[in-house]
Structure 1
Amino acid sequence: MNSRMNNWLIALITTLLFTVSMWIPDAMSASKPPIVRIGIVQDGPEGRLPDIRGMVKEEILRVTEREFDVRFPAQMTVHGNWKDADIKKAVDTLLADPKVDLVITLGHLATNYVCQKGKLPKPVVAAVVVDAKLQNLPLKDGSSGVKNLSYIDPFISFERDIRVFREMVPFRSLVVLTSRNAVESIPWLEKYFRRIAQEYTIDINIVPVEFSADQALAAFPSDTDAVYLFPLAQLPPGEFRKLLYGLILRKLPSFSLLGGADVEAGVLASAAPKSEISRLTRRIALNVQRILLGEKASTLKVAFPVGEKLTINMATGRAIGFYPSWSALTEAELLNEQVERVERKLSLESAVREAIAANLDLAAQNRNVAAGEQVVNQARSSLLPQIDLDARGAVIDDDRAETSGGVTPERSLTGSVTATQLLYDEDSWSNYSVEKKLQTSREEQRDTVELDTIRNAAVAYLDVLRAKTLERVEKDNLRLTRANLERALVRVSVGVANRSEEFRWQSEISRNRANVLFAQARTRRTENRLNRLLNRHLEEQFATIETDLQDPLLIVSDPRLLPYVDNPRNFRIYRDYVVEEGLRVAPELLGFDAAIGAQERILVNAKRAFWLPSFAAQGTVSELLAESGEGKRSSSQSNLDDTDWSVGVFATFPLVEGGGKFATIKRAREELSRLQLERQATAERIDQRVRSALHEASASYPNINLSRSAAEAARKNLELVTDQYVRGLVSIVDLLDAQNSSLRADQDAENAVYNFLINWMDVERAAGRFDFLMTQAEREEWFQRLQEFFNQAGVEPIKR
Structure 2
Amino acid sequence: MKNKIILLILLFSSIASLGQQQKDYHIAILGDKQIPETILLLKQLKEEIKSVVGQSANIVFKDSFVLLNDLNLEKAKNNYQNMLESKDVDLILSFGSVNNFVIAKNKTFPKPVILFGAINDDFITFPEGQVTSNTPNLTYILTPQSYKRDLLQFKEIFPYQKIGIVLDKYLTDIYPVKNTLDEVFKDIDSDYILIPINQVSDLDGQLESLDAIYLSGGIFFTKNEQIALVQKFNDKKLPTFTSIDKYFSDCGILLTSQPVNNLDQFFRRIALNIEAAVNGDNLSHLPIYLDIDSKLSLNIETAFQINFPLKYSFLLQTNIVGNAKRLSSQKRYSLPDVMHQVLEQNLNLKAEQKNIELSAEEVKLSKSEYLPNLSASASGTHIDPDLAEVSNGSNPEYSTSGNIKLEQVIFSEQASANIKIQKELEKATKESYNSSEKNAILDAGIAYYSALIAKANFLINDENLRVTRKNYEIAQQKYDAGQTGKSDVLRWKSELARATQSIVNGYTSLNQSFNELNQILNNPIGLKIDVFNTEENELGRTKREHWKFFNLLDDPFLREKFTHFVEELAIENAHELKALQYNISATKRLETLYQRSKFLPTVGFQGQYNHTFTRDGKGSTYPIGFSGAPDGYYNLGVQVTLPIFQKNQRNINRQKSFIQREQLNFQKDEAIVSIKKNVNDMILSILSQYSSIELSQVSTEAAKESLELMQVSYSNGAIGITSLIDSQQAYFQAQQQQANATYNFQLSILQLERIMSYFFILHSEEENQAFINRVKEKIVR
Name the CA shift for 1:690/1:460 in 2 (closer, same or farther; >3 Å): same
Matched, 1:652 2:641: yes
CA distance in 2, matches of 1:641, 1:714: 108
Deviations 1:95-133 (A, max 9, x none): 9xxxxxxxxx99979xxxxxxxxxxxxxxxxxxx999xx
Distance 2:543 2:142 in 1: 70
- Which residue is equivalent to 1:624? 612
Match of 1:737 among 719, 726, 732: 726
Partner of 2:593: 605
1:176 touches 1:229 (CA, 8 Å); kept in 2? no
Q: CA RMSD in A?
A: 5.1
Q: CA deviation at 1:334?
A: 5.3
User: Could you tell me which amino acid in structure 2 is paired with residue 746 of structure 1?
Assistant: Q
Q: Is contact 1:176–1:230 with CA below 8 Å preserved after alignment?
A: no
**Aligned pairs for 1:310-349 within 5 A:** 310=297, 312=299, 325-326=311-312, 331-333=319-321, 342-349=329-336
Post-superposition offset of 1:453: 0.9
Which has the higher Rg, Structure 1 or Structure 2?
1
CA distance in 2, matches of 1:555, 1:403: 102
The answer to whether the 8 A contact 1:315-1:336 is kept is no
Shift in Å, 1:322: 8.9
| CA distance in 1 between partners of 2:304 and 2:665 (Å) | 67
Equivalent in the alignment of 2:506: 519
* Closer, same or farther: CA 84–703 of 1 in aligned 2, 3 Å: farther
Q: Tell me the alpha carbon deviations over residues 50-74 of structure 1, each in whole angstroms, 9 at most, x when there is no partner.
A: 16669999xxxxxxxxxxxxxxxxx
Q: Does 1:80 align with 2:39?
A: no
Among residues 468, 477, 495, which one is paired with 2:482 in the alignment?
495
Corresponding residue SS for 1:382: helix
Tell me what 1:62 maps to.
none
Q: CA deviation at 1:325?
A: 4.3
Q: Give matches, 1:228-247, under 5 Å.
A: none
| 2:174 match | 215
From the superposition, tell whether residues 261 and 660 of structure 1 become closer, same or farther in structure 2 (CA, over 3 Å): closer
User: What is the rounded CA distance, in whole Å, between the counterparts of 2:142 and 2:550 in structure 1?
Assistant: 74
Matches within 5 A, 1:671-686: 671-686=660-675
Query: Which TM-score applies when normalising by structure 1?
Result: 0.67
Within the alignment, does 1:461 sit opposite 2:448 as a pair?
yes
Match of 2:29 in 1: 43
Show the 5 A alignment for 1:156-555.
Answer: 189=140, 214-216=173-175, 218=177, 220=180, 222-224=182-184, 255-256=242-243, 258-260=245-247, 264=251, 269-271=256-258, 310=297, 312=299, 325-326=311-312, 331-333=319-321, 342-393=329-380, 409=396, 412-549=399-536
- Whether contact under 8 Å (1:266, 1:316) holds in the other structure is no
8 Å Cα contact 1:392-1:414 kept in structure 2: yes
Per-residue deviation, 1:450? 1.1
The 1:52–1:519 alpha-carbon spacing in structure 2 relative to 1, beyond 3 Å, is closer
Tell me which amino acid in the other structure corresponds to 1:415. Answer: G
Q: Distance in 2 between matches of 1:577 and 1:85?
A: 94
Report the counterpart of residue 582 of structure 1 in structure 2. 570
Match in the other structure for 1:664: 653
Between the two proteins, the alignment pairs up a number of residues equal to 624
2:750 & 2:35 partners in 1: Cα distance?
A: 55
Q: Distance in 1 between matches of 2:494 and 2:680?
A: 47
Displacement of 1:674 in angstroms is 1.0
For residues 236 and 779 of structure 1, the distance between their equivalents in structure 2, rounded to whole angstroms, comes to: 57
Whether the 8 Å contact between 1:406 and 1:640 is mirrored in structure 2 is: no
Alpha-carbon separation, structure 2, partners of 1:486 and 1:79: 35
Single out whichever of 746-755 and 252-261 deviates more from structure 2: 252-261
Distance 1:217 1:717, change over 3 A: farther
Contact persistence 1:375–1:435 (CA under 8 A): yes
Please state how far the C-alpha of 1:736 moved relative to its aligned partner: 1.2
| Alpha-carbon contact 1:721-1:730 (below 8 Å) kept | yes
Counterpart residue number, 2:603: 615
Match of 2:708 in 1: 719
Kindly provide the CA deviation profile for residues 425-444 of structure 1, in whole angstroms up to 9, marking residues without a partner as x.
Answer: 00011111111111111111
Hey, what's the Cα distance between the residues in 2 that align with 1:550 and 1:316?
29
Q: Give the drift of 1:776.
A: 2.6
- CA gap 1:334/1:549 in 2 versus in 1, 3 angstroms: closer
Identity %: 21
**CA drift at 1:678:** 1.0
- Aligned mate of 1:642, from 620, 631, 635: 631
Q: Is the 8 A contact 1:416 1:622 kept in 2?
A: yes
Unaligned stretches of 5+ residues in structure 2: 1-15, 20-25, 44-60, 69-78, 97-113, 126-131, 154-167, 189-212, 268-293
Question: CA contact under 8 A between 2:65 and 2:83: conserved in structure 1?
Answer: yes
**What letter corresponds to residue 636 of structure 2 in structure 1?**
V
Give runs of aligned pairs for residues 90-109 of structure 1, distance below 5 A. Answer: none
Tell me the residue number matched to 2:109: none
Which runs of 5 or more residues in structure 1 are unaligned? 1-35, 58-74, 96-104, 110-128, 136-157, 163-172, 203-208, 281-306
CA drift at 1:690: 2.3
1:240-261 CA distance string (max 9 Å, x none): 98xx99xx9xx99764464315
Local SS of the residue matching 1:650: strand
With over 3 angstroms needed to count, the CA separation of the structure-2 counterparts of 1:389 and 1:43, relative to structure 1, is: same
Give the superposition deviation at 1:639: 5.5
Aligned equivalents of 1:568 and 1:413: distance in 2? Answer: 92
Give the CA deviation at 1:784: 3.1
Q: SS at the partner of 1:627?
A: strand
Equivalent residue, structure 1, for 2:49: none
Q: Alpha-carbon deviation of 1:671?
A: 1.1
Q: 1:12 maps to which residue?
A: none
2:557 equivalent among 569, 573, 582:
569
Offset, 1:687: 1.9
CA spacing shift, 1:42–1:698, aligned 2, 3 Å: farther
Q: Would the aligned equivalents of 2:707 and 2:724 in 1 still touch at CA under 8 Å?
A: yes
Report the Cα distance in structure 2 between the residues aligned to 1:359 and 1:502, rounded to whole angstroms.
52
2:468, 2:496 within 8 Å by CA — same for their partners in 1?
Answer: yes
Report the residue type matching 1:677 in the other structure: F
C-alpha displacement at 1:562, in angstroms?
A: 5.2
* CA distance in 2 between partners of 1:252 and 1:354 (Å): 33
**How far, CA to CA, are the matches of 2:145 and 2:320 in structure 1?**
29
Cα contact 2:565–2:775 (8 A) shared by 1: yes
- Helix, strand or coil for the counterpart of 1:772? helix
8 Å CA contact 1:690, 1:763 repeated in 2:
yes
Contact 1:555 1:561 in 2 (8 A): no
Partner of 1:595: 583
Instruction: State the distance in 2 between where 1:380 and 1:257 align.
Output: 81
Q: Please tell me the residue identity of whatever aligns with 1:611.
A: F
Question: 2: distance between equivalents of 1:318 and 1:48?
Answer: 33
TM-superposition CA deviations, 1:439-472 (whole Å, max 9, x none): 1111111112111111111111221122112111
The residue matched to 1:728 in structure 2 has which SS?
Answer: coil
Secondary structure of 1:423 counterpart = strand
- Larger deviation, residues 400-409 vs 738-747: 400-409
Letter in 2 for 1:431: N
**Per-residue deviation, 1:270:** 4.6
> Which secondary structure state, in structure 2, belongs to the residue aligned with residue 387 of structure 1?
strand
The 1:451–1:77 alpha-carbon spacing in structure 2 relative to 1, beyond 3 Å, is: same
